[in-house]
Structure 1
Amino acid sequence: MSSRIAYVNGAFIPESEASISIRDLGFVYGDSVFDTWRTFGGKLFKLEEHMDRLIESLTYAKIVIGMSRAEMIDATVDLVARNLPMLRSNEDYWVTFRVTGGLQNFDGEPARNLGPTVIIDCIPIPLRARAPFFKHGIDARLTDRCRIAPGAISPNAKTNNYLNMILAQKEISADFPGAWALMPDHKGNIAEGAGCNFFVVRNGAVFTPTTECVLAGVSRQVAIDLCDGLNIPIHEQDLSFDEAFDAQEAFFTSTSLCVCPVATLNGKPYPSGAPGPVTKQIMDGFAKLVGMDYVDQYLSFLSDGPASTGL
């Protein structure tokens, strides 16, 4: 079998044949939510935690999926199993479960919305594009474009409305190719990187913004739990730019990055290196938890090409 498989509205079909209607509300209005896992050695990580967050997002967006939690889990696990034969050596998958509001209805026409559109798909983690981040660290750049305020859309609902982050990343990439956008919140504090959570290390303690204005990332929680287990002081609080700028270390967390060191903020190097000693402890703890050296996996795909966020 040469084509990856996608799950579309209850059917497993070749990815190349998967499609949605031009009248789908996810496409027309962004009326959709999603969540994403990654695999380690072909095995899904934090399956239940991501699924619970997806269900919370569905509730927030008022989308009724028509599947039980168990059915959603079974479909996800089944899809990964079907796609494992297409996984190349030393690679792993991003696995994304998307649900839209279904088809748009029109005044005076027969009702056409028979329920939500449900899609699950697998694509390889961008190991080649992001490998340089694990050798040199990430160049984080603060944007002028702030994260959407929580009074408008909750940051803890994973919706397909990513234009806010995409514009921030495009603006940074235009001036600093290979850099990663770091967005402020509506109050002027640090919020999150485009698609990832942000942490700094100051005097041996770790600090990260509260979830008032940022997504409660699953990998963010793993890092917090690792800090607790390693007896590293961890604080969730508002984080000003000056506090982040004057820290000794920094790192991003996300489903695909896991824990990745930030080398510079607005061009200023963090003095403890990338990774610094505290960040390295957390990275090693993450690798032990998932049962594989994910840093070595990234570095095995390192080339002379430029780094890219993939956004």
Structure 2
Amino acid sequence: MTDHVTTHQAEEDARNEAILIYVDGRIVPKAQALVSVYDSGFLLGDGVWEGIRLYDGTWAFIDEHLERLFEAAKAIDLDIRLTPEQVKSAVLETQLANGMQTDAHARLMVTRGVKTRPFQHPGLSRQGPTMVIIMEHSRPRIPRPIRLATVPHMRGMPMTQDPKLNSHSKLNCILACIAAEKAGADEALMLDVQGFVNTTNACNFFIVRKGEVWTSTGDYCMNGITRGKVIQLCQQHGIPVHQRNFSLVETYSADEAFLTGTFGAQTPVGVIDGRVIGTGQMGPMTERLRELYKALVTA
């Protein structure tokens, strides 16, 4: 595909060559931002992360992102060894060092740290956690609605790898994305274990039918901060919203579809499995929710 689009597509920004990156309490140039080959994150994907966006001097919903980070760390029995306030200070310090005011994206990562030997047991990580903050100038540039393809890969059951966990182990989602690209789409639409429409490989998924907004039950998808905000906005503004099971049959005949995520906020979907959704362009409900979300972020 010549015009491949992703939900994390940003404008080219030359300033990103000179960014400073936070690594374990030090803020260093990109070329010096290095992590050991013995790090748990590199060896095993043993870590958790958050993506946060900077709008007009404010990191949107940062407290909720940090709460989710600490919940995930507790779930995998990883001691971050910092308080949420200290982690927030590290984000602000990195922002200040980079002189960023708006249109920036931070990826905050915590792994179990450097291992004494390159094996699985968590007890081999004895030096404490590794924390990295990559902060880039980043203005989303998604030139057209996203094309999705349904793939055989599912988000896991809670007892395998809970999909609510924002972990470094993303191979399942990467394989889903590859399958979608091979099918000529931009990203993957993933079903849940019962065959109901669930999420994409990178974002939460919504449809609009007859003025109502539908999304999955939330049992098998990432507990997205933006997803939660969209549901909240619908409830506050009298828009009927349902967290429910629905199938591809109901999805193909939807009036609109869109994705939610920290990076792109609300991204319209034009085509799913070769079927044009609605007009194939951004629909009025997606547009309205984008405006309401923008107002929420500004507030």
TM-score interval, smaller chain: 0.7 to 0.9
| Distance in structure 2 (CA, Å) of the matches to 1:113 and 1:151 | 27
Q: Secondary structure of the residue that 1:235 maps to in structure 2?
A: strand
| Distance in structure 1 (CA, Å) of the matches to 2:204 and 2:137 | 21
> Which amino acid is the alignment partner of residue 288 of structure 2?
Q
| Residue aligning to 1:182 | 189
| Residue aligning to 2:28 | 13
- 8 Å CA contact retained: 1:166, 1:194: yes
> Which amino acid is the alignment partner of residue 136 of structure 2?
I
| Residue aligning to 1:265 | 272
Q: Among residues 41, 52, 60, which one is paired with 1:45 in the alignment?
A: 60
Q: Spell out, residue by residue over 1:228-269, the C-alpha distance to the aligned partner (whole angstroms, 9 max, x if none).
A: 122100111122111212211111000111011111211211
The runs of at least 4 aligned residues of structure 1 exceeding 3 Å deviation read none
Q: Among residues 102, 105, 109, which one is paired with 2:113 in the alignment?
A: 102
| Residue aligning to 2:250 | 243
The Cα shift of 1:150 comes to 2.1
The answer to whether the aligner puts 1:221 opposite 2:231 as a matched pair is: no
| Residue aligning to 2:176 | 168
Matched length: 279
Q: Spell out, residue by residue over 1:40-69, the C-alpha distance to the aligned partner (whole angstroms, 9 max, x if none).
A: 235311110111100011011110011011
- 8 Å CA contact retained: 1:3, 1:16: no
| Distance in structure 2 (CA, Å) of the matches to 1:112 and 1:26 | 11
RMSD: 2.1
Q: Among residues 150, 154, 162, which one is paired with 2:162 in the alignment?
A: 154
| Residue aligning to 1:191 | 198
- 8 Å CA contact retained: 2:149, 2:183: no
| Distance in structure 2 (CA, Å) of the matches to 1:244 and 1:149 | 23
- 8 Å CA contact retained: 2:271, 2:280: no
TM-score (norm 1): 0.84
- 8 Å CA contact retained: 1:209, 1:237: yes
Q: Secondary structure of the residue that 1:39 maps to in structure 2?
A: strand
Q: Among residues 255, 276, 290, which one is paired with 2:297 in the alignment?
A: 290
| Residue aligning to 2:217 | 210
| Residue aligning to 1:309 | none
Q: Secondary structure of the residue that 2:159 maps to in structure 1?
A: coil
The answer to whether the aligner puts 1:119 opposite 2:132 as a matched pair is: yes
Q: Spell out, residue by residue over 1:2-55, the C-alpha distance to the aligned partner (whole angstroms, 9 max, x if none).
A: 721111111122222011111111111111111110112353111101111000
| Distance in structure 2 (CA, Å) of the matches to 1:84 and 1:224 | 34
- 8 Å CA contact retained: 1:42, 1:84: no
Q: Which runs of 5+ in 2 are unaligned?
A: 1-14, 119-123
Q: Which runs of 5+ in 1 are unaligned?
A: 293-311
The Cα shift of 1:192 comes to 0.6
The Cα shift of 1:124 comes to 3.2
| Distance in structure 2 (CA, Å) of the matches to 1:229 and 1:273 | 28
| Residue aligning to 1:63 | 78
| Residue aligning to 1:22 | 37
The Cα shift of 1:226 comes to 1.3
- 8 Å CA contact retained: 1:42, 1:92: no
